[in-house]
Amino acid sequence: MEHGSFTDNSAATFSLTEEDHTLANAVRFTLNQDPRVTFCGYSIPHPSNARVNIRVQTTGDPAREVLKDACQDLMLMCRHVRSGFDKAVEDFKASNAVKAMKIDSQDSDSEESE
């Protein structure tokens, strides 16, 4: 849900239900790093309502588009994190398998020499 003025769409408050600091703080991070943003912040009006308000003010672009872009950026970052993480886990598993094999072979070597 968007609350803004009818004439100026460069400043608006977005009220997201069923969200909390998890998304709002992450989006605030990406929003703040967008050069088109002059101000952004978020608040949770009441802790027992699952709702968060995100305020976006821009240098002129529609706030809605800027917020969408911020979410898009966050999504791409997540995707990159996921692929990077999966790769690191795979590498770790592979290198561990190699290590385990080496230890095994060393063990058998020493047994043979004994």
Partner 1 sequence: MAGQGEERGEEKKKFSIWDLPDVPAGQLPPHLELQRTRVLCNKDAPIHTESVLYSGAYASMGVDNSLRLDHFCHNFRVEVVRLTEEDMEFDMIGIDAAIANAFRRILIAELPTMAIEKVLIANNTSVVQDEVLAHRLGLIPISVDPRLFEYMSENDQPNEKNTIVFKLHVHCKRGSPRITVKSDELKWLPNGSELIKESRKVASDSASKPETYTSFSCSQDTLPEFANNPIAPKYPDIIISKLGPGQEIELEAHAVKGMGKTHAKWSPVATAWYRMLPEVVLLEEVEDDLAEGLKSKCPVNVFDIEDLGKGKKRATVARPRACTLCRECIRDEEWEKRVAIHRVKDHFIFTIESTGALPPEVLFTEAVKILEDKCERVITELS
Residues in contact with partner 1 by CB under 8 A are 2, 14, 16, 19-23, 25-30, 32-35, 37, 64, 67-68, 71-82, 84-89, 91-93, 96
The contacts of residue 13 (CB under 8 Å, 6+ apart) are: 2, 3, 4, 53, 54, 55, 56
DSSP notation for 16-63: EET--HHHHHHHHHHHHTSTTEEEEEEE-S-TTS-EEEEEEEESSS-H
What's the closest the beta carbon of residue 47 comes to partner 1, in angstroms?
Answer: 12
What's the closest the beta carbon of residue 106 comes to partner 1, in angstroms?
Answer: 22
Between 2 and 107, whose beta carbon lies closer to partner 1? 2
What's the closest the beta carbon of residue 53 comes to partner 1, in angstroms?
Answer: 13
